[in-house]
Structure 1
């Protein structure tokens, strides 16, 4: 990719997932490949500059200002990392500066610390320029320990662990610990350009350091690394251009964040208006306003997830579909199921929120039978089989998006069922993971049992199961709050049965479920569209990055 194509697609690239970060990477790669600024034939070629740099190194060695180092291997043509302009040269990093790592003065000797000499650790290389370290050492430590006193404008690079490849430029005289290597650039190599090279090489250094318990690179690896050397004047132009583009990236990032927050606020306002709707008719009006602005409100997955939660909330508050006065009231439905039992009804003071007059509040344990689960002894092969009684664990529902589930990864035998606390439940049972984690919900498509990580509800009237399913998906946070435990939280069967559920007339339950199904399908289409757009954008960005970095 040339600079013209890159700048034409700058805005497009920034809009893709992680686009700004990838833009920054591309800027650095194009910079060190000579693709960011034009070459000037009037510049002193790097071949001549390299001779001057070598002469400078020899002069410093002769004056004993730096130590003489072992000769580095010659640069081989077939070892180049990428193509560079004709006026550039490939060099090893050890040729362009004097490199040295630091050390840690003995921690047991307090007399080494609390002095006036800055002593940087790798975790402190967080900014482009650094001046003051968290800890200081003194002249005694400098004299008795293997410390290198680095000059202002030296370039530092972290060599160990999670910080490997982090870079900074010193703005004060300072030392470092052994996890940091410093470079004093020779005359003719611009320290700011070295900073860009090392930033561009971070992934390369990270890969070089992989393999051990703690990733690390060494001074030796660094000084043997090949780097592109432009003419000195071009080095300076590259740094100026990179700074300009990075500032533009900062501005784009800020604009994107502002835009994202605005979308979040608009969506929250729209959802709030829907929740405040006093009737299904008012909801329909607010919903139409949302539909008219779908492209504006729902271009990110976070907003779609919030929309799904609001749909569930409206559903269980009786605001999603209109009530029909001809529907049989909910309390009559429960009387038919359980027999006349006024104690089942929840009095007004206990109601979490208002619901339509034809609805009634009940405890979940009165709406259905609460069933736990169990695990047969895993060391007994006679308890497990490939095609037996379907048995489910919470892990089977991880990332599971369907409403109904038929089986898990393993089946158990009749003997396994008999010798465990697992219970066989009928098709239509609403399954709810009660720990690790709390909140996976599905409906059994067939007879099934579960491990102890579930508390399930077998509805007294099976036609209620899909409404109960959606209620439980809405009530996950409330159920989590009712859970207990120290190592991990779990909702007990007793506490699960005490959860209050607002029950509409059966006919209205059917209408609610149909409406939620319709709206959830729409949300699914939105998510698919967003993911596809992000994926296409990601592929485009990746292709453009690949055209730069190879």
Structure 2
């Protein structure tokens, strides 16, 4: 089915009408180990991280393709998930084989551009996902896929639309790379600054490792006041929905982002007074001791916490930002000593005996200032990335529906 649609002069078609063919996939026998020793990318839904793919988690041989239902898909086509991650689509930048959860859409180049088809499917991904049926594993049938409706503008307009969206994707990719590189640099800086300090040439061996000669080793309890948390009675209404932020396991994902100011639940003064919960001052450093252990934050306002957290009110000889980064650097230690089958936990005796390397306060502030500046850059790039994502979504909704038209010379070639 194909018809010209209104003043747009776009052609309304079924997806199958703009394709040369649809190719399915399969899984070579796992019993034949040699099938998985080749150099041909065998793509599954586990590989659907980006909108383009040039590698995969597993590789197979030509013999595996010959003796299974999988197929080799030439590079430059659109592949979509019809099971598991229903609706996710990408372009394969190299020849790949696919499993049974994917379908390769081979576009008719006289009707539709590959990148335009990709962006159309990306824009429809949520709608396609909702078409999925099944209890354990969601999936859509081939006939459903074929009958998806698509508005198709002229090829020059398709190319221009694809070029605009590709430029945004390029900016997204570049920003993601900057974030990744900066986070890697931060990790290296933390390792260097929190063990070697700034400008030191003389070092000494201690019970927690080598540190600068001018540093000390202290029980954290000696330089910061440790406070536990508690949960006010959930059955008493006037203990809840107040104005005091109360950090619980629901807020774990908010940690590791420097300051925490908002929480899922809020308690009241009555809740604090009638429980073992403590109202802690802004600047208190909080660390999770249960479930996802070792997540750290600095309270940006007065707050309370549940019993799943340990809180440190910093004294005059320790800087809260320095302690934040120091505890972040100890994540592997916290994970290693956490015990429990269902929920991992760190017992209070560990925190009572926990020792840290302690530079002079001025050096602590220098160290935290350097790391804080790196985090500022990461935060800036993440916000920019979020803005790019919003822009891309808006552009797809406008350009791929014809709500906003692009100017093209119908006789000119436009490359994406």
Instruction: Return the TM-score normalized by structure 2.
Output: 0.57
1:73-131 Cα offsets, whole Å, 9 max, x none, are: xx554479x645xxxx76657789999999xxxxxxxxxxxxxxxxxxx979x99x996
Question: 1: CA distance between counterparts of 2:125 and 2:194?
Answer: 55
Does residue 334 of structure 2 align to residue 479 of structure 1? yes
Q: Secondary structure at the match of 1:386?
A: strand
Query: Aligned runs of 1:14-53 on 2, under 5 Å?
Result: none
Does residue 198 of structure 2 align to residue 317 of structure 1? no
Query: Aligned runs of 1:215-226 on 2, under 5 Å?
Result: 216-217=140-141, 219=143, 222=146, 225=149
Counterpart of 2:207 in structure 1 is 350
Counterpart of 1:456 in structure 2 is 311
Question: 2: CA distance between counterparts of 1:452 and 1:517?
Answer: 28
**Following TM superposition, by how much is the alpha carbon of 1:454 offset from its aligned partner in structure 2, in angstroms?**
0.5
Does residue 277 of structure 2 align to residue 410 of structure 1? no
Does residue 68 of structure 2 align to residue 134 of structure 1? yes
Is the CA contact (8 Å cut-off) linking 2:197 and 2:367 kept in structure 1?
no
Q: Secondary structure at the match of 1:522?
A: helix
Is the CA contact (8 Å cut-off) linking 1:313 and 1:474 kept in structure 2?
yes
Question: 2: CA distance between counterparts of 1:446 and 1:472?
Answer: 20
Is the CA contact (8 Å cut-off) linking 1:391 and 1:449 kept in structure 2?
yes
Q: Across the two proteins, how many residue pairs are aligned to each other?
A: 337
Q: Secondary structure at the match of 2:85?
A: helix
Q: Choose the corresponding residue for 1:527, options 363, 366, 378.
A: 378
Question: 2: CA distance between counterparts of 1:475 and 1:160?
Answer: 40
Counterpart of 2:364 in structure 1 is 513
Counterpart of 1:381 in structure 2 is 237
**Structure 1: any 5+ residue segments left out of the alignment?**
1-71, 103-121, 137-154, 169-175, 235-240, 261-297, 324-346
Is the CA contact (8 Å cut-off) linking 2:86 and 2:128 kept in structure 1?
no
Structure with the bigger RCO (C-alpha within 8 Å, sep 6+) is 2
Question: 1: CA distance between counterparts of 2:232 and 2:266?
Answer: 12
Question: 2: CA distance between counterparts of 1:446 and 1:369?
Answer: 17
Is the CA contact (8 Å cut-off) linking 1:368 and 1:457 kept in structure 2?
yes
**Following TM superposition, by how much is the alpha carbon of 1:373 offset from its aligned partner in structure 2, in angstroms?**
1.8
Is the CA contact (8 Å cut-off) linking 2:284 and 2:312 kept in structure 1?
yes
Q: Secondary structure at the match of 1:438?
A: coil
Counterpart of 1:468 in structure 2 is 323
1:13-46 Cα offsets, whole Å, 9 max, x none, are: xxxxxxxxxxxxxxxxxxxxxxxxxxxxxxxxxx
Counterpart of 1:301 in structure 2 is 179
Is the CA contact (8 Å cut-off) linking 2:86 and 2:140 kept in structure 1?
no
Does residue 19 of structure 2 align to residue 162 of structure 1? no
Instruction: Return the TM-score normalized by structure 1.
Output: 0.45
**Following TM superposition, by how much is the alpha carbon of 1:439 offset from its aligned partner in structure 2, in angstroms?**
2.9
**Following TM superposition, by how much is the alpha carbon of 1:475 offset from its aligned partner in structure 2, in angstroms?**
2.1
Q: Secondary structure at the match of 1:317?
A: helix
1:32-75 Cα offsets, whole Å, 9 max, x none, are: xxxxxxxxxxxxxxxxxxxxxxxxxxxxxxxxxxxxxxxx7xx5
Is the CA contact (8 Å cut-off) linking 1:434 and 1:490 kept in structure 2?
yes
**Following TM superposition, by how much is the alpha carbon of 1:300 offset from its aligned partner in structure 2, in angstroms?**
0.8
Greater helix proportion:
1
1:400-440 Cα offsets, whole Å, 9 max, x none, are: 54457598741244455434x43455665432222243233
Query: Aligned runs of 1:61-80 on 2, under 5 Å?
Result: 77-78=4-5
Does residue 222 of structure 2 align to residue 371 of structure 1? no
**Structure 2: any 5+ residue segments left out of the alignment?**
25-42, 48-52, 54-61, 71-77, 92-98, 402-416
Is the CA contact (8 Å cut-off) linking 1:167 and 1:198 kept in structure 2?
no
